[in-house]
Amino acid sequence: VVGGGNIWRGANAGERGMDRATADYMGMLATVINALALQDALESLEVDTRVQSAIEMQQVAEPYIRRRAIRHLEKGRVVIFAGGTGNPYFSTDTTAALRAAEIEAEVILLAKGKVDAIYNMDPLLNPDAQKFTELSFIEVINRGLGVMDSTAASLCMDNNITLVVFGLNKSENIKRVVMGEKLGTIVRGENRS
C-alpha cells in the first residue's frame, strides 16, 4: 500500500477549510501516482508487478479485487495497492491494515521517511526521545504514539498482524527487513508473543 502524502495530504487540506471528502479523494489519486512510479521502478528491476486501485481507472490500474490480488501473489507478482479504501476519512494506514487482513498477510512493513522506529516522543523535535524496540498495539493506542491511527492499529491487533516500523532512508533497509533482520520497532498483539 502506498501513500500519497508527498503529493497531497487530504486530512490537512480539510483542516484548512477544504471539503474533507474532496481533499481525501485528491489524496487517493496521489496514491495512484505513487503506485505507478513504484511499479515503474520495480519493473525496471524486472520485478513483475500489478497495481490495483480502489478507485476505478482501468487505463492505469486494475480494480481492487481481493481474489485477483491473491492470485497475483500466488504467481509471485508484487501487488501494489492504491486509491486507499476508495472511501474518504480512511487513512492509508487503515488501508494497509485492511488489505493485509484481506490477503491474510502476517506482517506489515511500515517504512518511514523521517524516523527509523517508534519513539516515546518526536525524535526530530526532542533529542531525548527514547526508541522502542517492541510494543503491543494496546500500548501504541494508549500512549498515542502516532505511528498509525487507532483504526489501523485495531485492525492489525484483531487480525494478529505484526507491524514492523523502520527507516526508509538508510541504504538497503527494505532488503534488510524483508530478509528478517530486526530493525526499528516491532508491534504485536497485546501479549507481544
Residues 94 and 158 in one domain: no
Q: Summarize pLDDT for 4-22 with one digit per residue, the tens.
A: 988 998 777 767 889 999 9
Give residue 193's pLDDT.
46
The percent of residues in the chain predicted with pLDDT above 90, rounded, is 83
At 21, list the grid cell. Answer: 471528502
Q: DSSP 3-state assignment of 188?
A: strand
Give residue 190's pLDDT.
64
At 79, list the grid cell. Answer: 501487488
- Which among 105, 138, 173 is the end of a domain? 105
Residues 24 and 98 in one domain: yes
CB 184 within 8 A of CB 116: yes
Residues 9 and 41 in one domain: yes
Give residue 192's pLDDT.
47
The tally of domains found in the chain comes to 2
Residues 119 and 89 in one domain: no
pTM above 0.85, yes or no: yes
Residues 117 and 88 in one domain: no
Q: Mean pLDDT for the chain?
A: 93
DSSP string, 140-185: HHHHT--SS-HHHHHHHHHTT-EEEEEESSSTTHHHHHHTT---SE
Which run of H or E residues covers position 81?
strand 78-82
Give residue 17's pLDDT.
87
Residues 81 and 19 in one domain: yes
The whole-number average pLDDT for the span 99-117 is: 94
CB 75 within 8 A of CB 85: no
Q: Summarize pLDDT for 114-132 with one digit per residue, the tens.
A: 899 999 999 999 999 999 9
Of the candidates 151, 179, 154, the one whose C-alpha atom is nearest the C-alpha of residue 166 is 179
pLDDT tops 90 at residue 97: yes
Residues 111 and 65 in one domain: no
Alpha carbon distance 31, 43 (integer Å): 18
Residue 47 CB neighbours (<10 A): 12
Q: Summarize pLDDT for 140-193 with one digit per residue, the tens.
A: 999 999 889 999 999 999 999 999 999 998 888 999 999 999 999 999 986 544
The percent of residues in the chain predicted with pLDDT above 70, rounded, is 97
Alpha carbon distance 70, 135 (integer Å): 29
Please report, for the domain that includes residue 192, its CATH number: 3.40.1160.10
Residues 151 and 187 in one domain: yes
pLDDT tops 70 at residue 92: yes
The whole-number average pLDDT for the span 70-89 is: 97
Residues 48 and 38 in one domain: yes
Q: Is 130 exposed, middle or buried (0-12, 13-18, 19+ CB in 10 A)?
A: exposed
Residues 16 and 79 in one domain: yes
Give residue 14's pLDDT.
66
CB 160 within 8 A of CB 180: no
Query: Which domain range does residue 138 map to?
Result: 106-193
Residue 121 CB neighbours (<10 A): 12
CB 168 within 8 A of CB 112: yes
- Which among 105, 129, 154 is the end of a domain? 105
